[in-house]
Every structure is written in structure tokens, then in C-alpha cells.
Amino acid sequence: MSLLRDEASTITALEDLPMELFPPLFMEAFYGSRSETLKALVRAWPFVRLPLGDLMKTPHLGTLQAVLAGLDILIAQKDRPRRCKLRVLDLRHTGQDFWRMWSGDGAHGYSSTLMAPVAEDRSRAEQSLAPVVVFIELHLKERTLDGFLTYLIRWVEQRKASVHLCCKKLKIISMPMENIMKVLSMVQLDCIQEVQVNCTWHVSSLAVFAPLLGQMGNVQRLLLSHIHVSALEEQEEQHVDQITSQFLRLHHLQGLRMESPAFLEGCLDQMLRCLMAPLDSLAITHCLLSDSDLSHLSQCPNMSQLKGLDLSGVSLTYSSPELLPVLLEKVAATLQELYLEQCGIMDSHLETMLQSLSRCSQLMFFSLRGNLLSMAIMERLLQHTSGMPSLSQELGKAMALGPLSPEWNSAKRRLFHHCQSSDFGSELVLLKGGETE
């Protein structure tokens, strides 16, 4: 407290201050808005990582300016101060307990788990030519850039040789393409591991974004939603080519989710051919797929290790009935979650799937919500799945026969009797006429 009352004394004392006092002193200077002390602490920071984002519940421009000013002095020095080990400025909300651990909270002692992100970031920094790595969360959701991000991007732009701006999770909700391109031009794209594009884009916009996606060679999870098409067929084909060709560069892609991808009908095989590694999860929802699309899906070698499959909102009633069973046979050894909601599935379709479904020994969750199914086929479904050791929940919609229908009550009694008399460990939810039983 006495140090904080005299900023000049604080700055002088940093050379001999025990490292254990740096975090609590930084917190006091942060909450007291002591800019000069913050700058001095940055220049002498004895840890590899400064997790500033965990102190800022909301972005605070004044604090960022003070910390970056301290980094500027550090970067300009040919020889770093003896004690300073700072290589990573982390502006993300990591949820780690770094600050509580060093503030004297007895319930949070030192542990290797808490410092694991430091080791990861140190590795990244040592491999980089840049002396400083800045991690940030990028949620691009405004029409214009806010002051915090604008200041940071401008600061990085002026120091591209000395600073690497990194982001592991990129989420784009709503932002003009010009601003998206401007921000991402400052980011080390090979750092990004997860990408979510939740915009309502035309396929031409996605084609503009696609070359940037291709540079994100370490992406593991990709979500694209609501990509629309126009009537200009020839031009759309060119855009689809530009998009799918970028998948050739995503060597680490494990999870792919595409919601309402209007451009995908008749082109799924084109995208599947470009996948460079087996997927562990695939979701293609609320769109039209042709028989040839489903055929290519069932034949694609990169589908053989799927743990999660979601085809909700894809009409399966007009497809060849053997296509989905073939796909289920392919993934039977690994599949854990299966979502076939609102697919127009009737009794005859489900009947063709039962044998293949019963071979999915790892299945934990299976949903048929939004499909009209009779109680009889639900009984058949239970007969084929009751022996699955991992299945924890089944969701189905049984065809309503009327609220007082004796047929419904009789079938329901048989169904529940079957559950009680067999080794059935899953939860069964039936939806009848909008009511849950």
C-alpha cells in the first residue's frame, strides 16, 4: 500500500521486488487506474504470460493503452531488463486462477494445471520471430469496430515486425466484409483453431472470405450458417469452387457444421473430396440434399470415424432408403450422437434403419424429434436399442391417435412394459400432440 501511494517509489523498487508481489501489486494498480505503475510493471514482469483479460470483465481502453505503452518501451530496448520474462499478453477471458493464486487466497495454491496455458503460449512465442505475442478473443458482431479493438489493431499494424496478434476462436456474427478483412489482415491466421460464421451471407461473400479460411491451416472446428444462393447458376458454381477448394488446406479439420447451406445441394461430393482428414463430427442441417449427395456421404472414407452426425432438417423421405443405413454401418463402431430431427421420417424409413442402428454400440444420444412415428415402430425401435450399454437418451415423436384414444393408451402400456421388462437404461421421451409423456 505504501508503494502505491508513491508511484516513483514503486517504479524504483521493482528491480528488487519479490516476484510473488508483482500480481497483487498489478491488481491494485489496475483497480486504482495507476497508469505509470502499470507501465513499469509490464517492463519488469517476471512471468512469461500477463493474463490481462481475466482482470477486465469488459474491455477497458485506458488500461490497454497503459499496458501497450509499457510493451512499447520493452520492445524498443535492445537488451531486456534482467527480470523481465514477458512474451505473451493475453487479452482473453481464460477462466484461469492466476490472479487469485498470487493474491494470497489459500484455496488456490500453485499447480501445474493453472500454469499449463503458460507453457503452451511460451512454446508459441519461442517458435515465433516476434518477441511479443498478443492473444485476443475475436467476436466480430458490430457494424463498426469498437474503440478497444480499433486501438489494438492500429497498434499491431504499426509493429507487425515485433508483435504477433493471435486468436484461437474466431466468431463472426455481423460485420461488413471490409472490416473483417481489415481485422484479419493483422491476425496470425495459422493460430486460429475454431471458426464460427453466423452471418446471413450470400455465397459470393463466403467466396471472398474463403481464401482467408484457407490460411487457417490449424482450424479444427468450423461452423458456417445461412449461406444463400442466387439464380445466377454459372457464377454460383464458380463461387462454390472457390469455397470447397479451400478445404484442401485444412489438414487438421475434425468438426464441420453447416447450417442452412443452400449452396450445397448437388455439390456435397465436391466438398467431401477436398477433406484432408477424417472428421469426428459432421452436421449438415436444414437444407436440401440430393440422392447423389447422400450417396457420396455414405461412401466418403473420411466419414468412417464419426462420433457425431446431425442431419436435422434434411428431408430423407425422397432418398433411396438404403443410403442412410449404409452410412450408419460405416460409422457403427464410433458413432456416439445421432440427430435426425424433422427429416420427414416415417415408419417405413425407420424400419430400414433398425438393423444398422442396433450395431451402433457406442451410441449415447439419439433424437428423432419432429418425425411422425407410430407407437408400433417405437416399440420396434426399443427392441433394437434396449441392449445398447451406452445409450442414455432417445427422443422421438409418436404419431398422435387422439388424447383419449384406446389405441394410444394400449400401445403406451406395451411400450412402458417393454422398458420395465428389458435391460433398458435409457431415457425415452415421447411427444404426442405437443405434450410430453
pLDDT of residue 250: 96
The domain segmentation of the chain, as residue ranges, is 193-305, 338-437
The residue among 392, 398, 410 whose CA lies nearest residue 369 is 398
- Per DSSP bridges, beta strands 435-436 and 393-397 are unpaired
Residue 410 has pLDDT above 70, yes or no: no
Query: Which whole number is the average pLDDT over 224-249?
Result: 83
Averaged pLDDT, 141-164: 90
Model pLDDT, residue 417: 62
Q: Which fold has domain 338-437?
A: 3.80.10
> pLDDT band for position 148 (50/70/90)?
very high
Instruction: Report the b/e string of 404-422 with b at 16+ CB within 10 A.
Output: eeeebeebbeebeebeeee
CB neighbours of 416 closer than 8 A, spacing ≥ 6?
none
In this predicted model, which residue has the larger pLDDT, 221 or 127? Answer: 221
- Measured in whole angstroms, how far is the alpha carbon of residue 215 from the centre of its chain? 18
6: left (phi over 0), alpha (psi -120 to 50) or beta: beta
pLDDT at 30 over 60: yes
Looking up cell 518501451 gives 73
pLDDT digits (tens, 9 = 90+) for 82-121: 778 899 999 999 887 788 876 554 433 333 333 334 444 4
pLDDT, average across residues 339-349 = 92
Residue 130 has pLDDT above 70, yes or no: no
- Residues 398, 432 contacting (CB under 8 angstroms): yes
pTM: 0.84
**pLDDT value of position 401:** 43
Whole-angstrom Cα distance, residue 423 to residue 416? 12
User: What integer pLDDT is reported at residue 104 of this predicted model?
Assistant: 53
pLDDT tens profile 351-377: 999 999 999 999 999 999 999 888 889
Residue found by looking up cell 481485422 in the block: 183
Residue 427's pLDDT is what? 58
User: Residue 164's pLDDT is what?
Assistant: 95
80 has a pLDDT exceeding 60: yes
Mean pLDDT of the chain: 83
